[in-house]
A and B are shown apart, each in its own frame.
Chain A
Amino acid sequence: MKALILVGGYGTRLRPLTLSTPKPLVEFCNKPILLHQVEALVKAGVNHVILAVSYMSELLEKEMKEQEQRLGIHISLSHEKEPLGTAGPLALARELLVENSEPFFVLNSDVICDFPFTDMVHFHRHHGKEGTIVVTKVEEPSKYGVVVCDADTGLIHRFVEKPQVFVSNKINAGMYILNPSVLERIQLRPTSIEKEIFPVMAEQGQLYAMELQGFWMDIGQPKDFLTGMCMYLQSLRLKQPERLHSGQGFMGNVLVDPTAKIGSNCSIGPNVTIGAGVVVEDGVRIKRCTVLKGSRIRSHSWLESCIVGWSSCVGQWVRMENVTVLGEDVIVNDELYLNGANVLPHKSIAESVPEPRIIM
């Protein structure tokens, strides 16, 4: 089977992290975002992954070559010269997708959940129509476009954008399985699959919704990245608790790379991810944070709801909170207070940031 992942552009919503690393390679819970999806696809029998990208990155190509070998699959990059929306890239990759008559997966690259790819295949074969989309329940459907479908079969009746009165609490989760025949509906021009293709398929009774079990999050921006991390770690707690760190000084769900070093009298957690080679010195308090590879958190600092970029250094007695994001190789001097700071890579911070702002 094949899968097409809509990687898209520069990942500006996840800046400053994506100024150093293409978004698919940013580690979410100590694994590049893309690999969460690719590994799950391989488990479901996918042997060819096509990445639809709108910009070329040597780093991404190199990493994908390595993953091809490691996973024993084929990974192609399909490069769009102009933005083609969410459907156009399928037309662009048509040659690759129609090599055989099997249905293929299409994924938004920002989605994190317990990927239900095997279930999707079964569901799709069972109803026998052209397309299946995964839907997830949300608390406030008025913020999204919702899917109205048959409660028993999942047959989609219609889509409603930002409904003002309740019609459904199910939204498109950004994961589809489509027959190659769907490609005949898509032309090589900027097209929205959600707004232009799916409504027509639904009208013709060709589209089914499969409801997702468990958590789901679009982690395309730092705030949601952290929320998604909390959900992912909780799911690890239920499924593979042995991967979580425990012991004195650790609270709740904490994921620590084996090469990281944690000092004494620290209090880590709940909901913390510590990357490879990270050094956390003595007396540090961290909760609800991701600390990326190679960073150092110096003693007596306090961090909540932050992402610490690669190879950064947070000084002693620093307080960082409120979705402070440090880019790569940022130095935060001792005793500073960062509240919602967004710090671009290779910066040295010598003054507190008491109110949220971007540090160029």
Chain B
Amino acid sequence: MLKAVILIGGPQKGTRFRPLSFEVPKPLFPVAGVPMVQHHIEACTKVPNMKEILLIGFYQPNEALSRFLISAQQEFKIPIRYLQEYAALGTGGGIYHFRDQILSGNPEAFFVLNADVCSAFPLNEMLSFHRQRSDPDSFIMLGTTANRKQSLNYGCIVANSDTHEVLHYVEKPSTFVSELINCGIYLFTPAIFHHIGAVFQRNQQELLLGACIGEESTNGWQRAEAIRLEQDVFTSLAGQGRLFAYKTEGFWSQIKSAGSAIYANRLYLSCYSQCHPERLAQNRPGGPTIRGNVYIHPTASVDASAVLGPNVSIGKGVMIGAGVRVRESIILHGASLQDHTCVLNSIVGWESTIGRWARVEGTPSDPNPNDPYAKIDSETLFREGRLTPSITILGCNVTIPAEVVILNSIVLPHKELSRSFKNQIIL
């Protein structure tokens, strides 16, 4: 049997996702109509003999997460549990800490998925690739191609082109190493814990040594357990004949900034035409005009004269008035778009209201469409002291008056604006 672990992080992570992560843990942020992490769960449930899915992170137990777990278990008919770390233990420390939980029931192997990626999740392909290896204890890492420049922002893999063995691994190098990058999706056998355990032992010894020479040693045992899979484990596993890279041609992107949520929304919507055609809105008599891929929650009310798409997700209970235009945007639940508004490249927060003839517009941060291997740039918010033009984000319960324009701006929650804003963060 198989298991899967999804690393969902915690509130200290995902700050680049603010102000949206104030309201809901980032893994639950809806992308293409469902919580981000539900795409992972769904992919796991399509692997035969998958028996349990574990979410590991350091969020305090909260209602949103509990409700999600209940509904996901009902929908996918599989046990899904949340295991809370006592502190941020890193990508390796969390699974090591909960190794007994993961290993209970003796899974032959388990997947580990980072929550903040969007992907076609070729888990079955990874599994058959694993079974083709001569060594039953081989570990598989999903890789994809990036361009030379952007590869420096990722974990870089050098693999043997015949055997696919990982010969060298380096996280975010400062000079070019390889165009093959780590997708943050792995298939491990229980033997991985020997390797993580070795790092733990080493960390602990170093800490003891440090304590002897008078270094600060408070929470030393905690720090020994903070282990990064990428830097601490893969780097030393490379070249030992155990770690292999499975290269995917399917779509993949990180979801770090809110801008990348718009991109991920588009990627998932485009694969709905294959895997979930029922989730895509159709042009129907008496319904709104739909252009390209659009998700509309069944409880949303959309005027027939509205024009939506491409790449739009409309959440629960959203009200869309007459003559409204929405393109390349996510409208979160309970938001209200009054008549003739125009929303482009934006995320409209929960319960927000946009007045008549207002325009809410952002600048897309899409990867270069002419480079098939280009990834979304994980832009910093500011460049040379100026806000980088990005998508416009309205936090929860923001009110935009009629007839104004909000351009390339971020509006923090519960704000009632009274005029137009451009290229600003509005506290």
State the A residues within 8 Å of B (CB): 265, 267, 282-283, 285, 299-300, 302, 304, 316-317, 319, 321, 335, 337, 352, 354
Judge whether B359 is part of the interface by a CB distance below 8 angstroms.
yes
> Contact between B357 and A282 (Cβ–Cβ < 8 Å)?
no
> Contact between A265 and B403 (Cβ–Cβ < 8 Å)?
no
> Contact between A282 and B323 (Cβ–Cβ < 8 Å)?
yes
Contacts of A267 in B (CB 8 A): 357
Number of residues of chain B lying within 8 A (CB) of chain A: 17
Distance in Å from the Cβ of B102 to the closest Cβ of chain A?
50
Alpha-carbon gap, A352 to B361, bound state (A):
11
Q: Which of B23-31, B90-98, B137-145, B339-347 lines the interface with chain A?
A: B339-347
Alpha-carbon gap, A319 to B422, bound state (A):
14
Contacts of A354 in B (CB 8 A): 407, 422
Contact of A319 among B322, B323, B405 (CB under 8 A): B405
Contacts of B422 in A (CB 8 A): 354
Closest 4 CB pairs of A and B: A283-B323, A317-B342, A300-B323, A317-B325
Alpha-carbon gap, A283 to B321, bound state (A):
12
B325, B356, B357 interface centre (most CB from chain A within 10 Å): B357
Contact of B357 among A285, A335, A352 (CB under 8 A): A285
Alpha-carbon gap, A114 to B257, bound state (A):
59
Q: From A285, which residue of chain B is reached at the shortest CB distance? A: B357
> Contact between B407 and A300 (Cβ–Cβ < 8 Å)?
no
Mind listing 20 A-B residue pairs with CB under 8 Å?
A: A265-B322, A265-B339, A283-B322, A283-B323, A283-B339, A283-B340, A285-B340, A285-B356, A285-B357, A300-B340, A304-B403, A317-B325, A317-B342, A317-B359, A319-B405, A335-B325, A335-B342, A337-B359, A337-B407, A354-B407
Contact of A299 among B323, B361, B403, B407 (CB under 8 A): B323
Alpha-carbon gap, A285 to B405, bound state (A):
14
> Contact between A335 and B322 (Cβ–Cβ < 8 Å)?
no
> Contact between B340 and A302 (Cβ–Cβ < 8 Å)?
yes
Contact of A285 among B305, B327, B403, B407 (CB under 8 A): B403
A265, A285, A300 interface centre (most CB from chain B within 10 Å): A300
Q: From A304, which residue of chain B is reached at the shortest CB distance? A: B403
Q: From B325, which residue of chain A is reached at the shortest CB distance? A: A317
> Contact between A302 and B325 (Cβ–Cβ < 8 Å)?
no
> Contact between B359 and A319 (Cβ–Cβ < 8 Å)?
yes
> Contact between A302 and B323 (Cβ–Cβ < 8 Å)?
no
Contacts of A304 in B (CB 8 A): 403
Contacts of B407 in A (CB 8 A): 337, 354
Alpha-carbon gap, A87 to B339, bound state (A):
56
Alpha-carbon gap, A267 to B342, bound state (A):
16
Q: From A303, which residue of chain B is reached at the shortest CB distance? A: B357
> Contact between B342 and A319 (Cβ–Cβ < 8 Å)?
yes
Q: From B408, which residue of chain A is reached at the shortest CB distance? A: A354
Alpha-carbon gap, A352 to B322, bound state (A):
24
Contacts of B405 in A (CB 8 A): 319, 321, 337
> Contact between A335 and B344 (Cβ–Cβ < 8 Å)?
yes
Distance in Å from the Cβ of A288 to the closest Cβ of chain B?
12
> Can you name 15 extra interface pairs (CB under 8 A) apart from A285-B356, A300-B340?
A265-B339, A282-B323, A300-B323, A300-B325, A300-B342, A302-B357, A302-B359, A316-B325, A317-B325, A317-B359, A321-B405, A335-B325, A335-B327, A335-B344, A352-B361
Contacts of B339 in A (CB 8 A): 265, 283
Alpha-carbon gap, A317 to B361, bound state (A):
12
Alpha-carbon gap, A300 to B339, bound state (A):
9
Distance in Å from the Cβ of A216 to the closest Cβ of chain B?
30
Contacts of B356 in A (CB 8 A): 285
Distance in Å from the Cβ of A349 to the closest Cβ of chain B?
16
Contacts of B305 in A (CB 8 A): 283
Q: From B361, which residue of chain A is reached at the shortest CB distance? A: A337
Alpha-carbon gap, A117 to B3, bound state (A):
94
Contacts of B340 in A (CB 8 A): 283, 285, 300, 302, 317
Contacts of A317 in B (CB 8 A): 325, 340, 342, 359
Q: From B342, which residue of chain A is reached at the shortest CB distance? A: A317
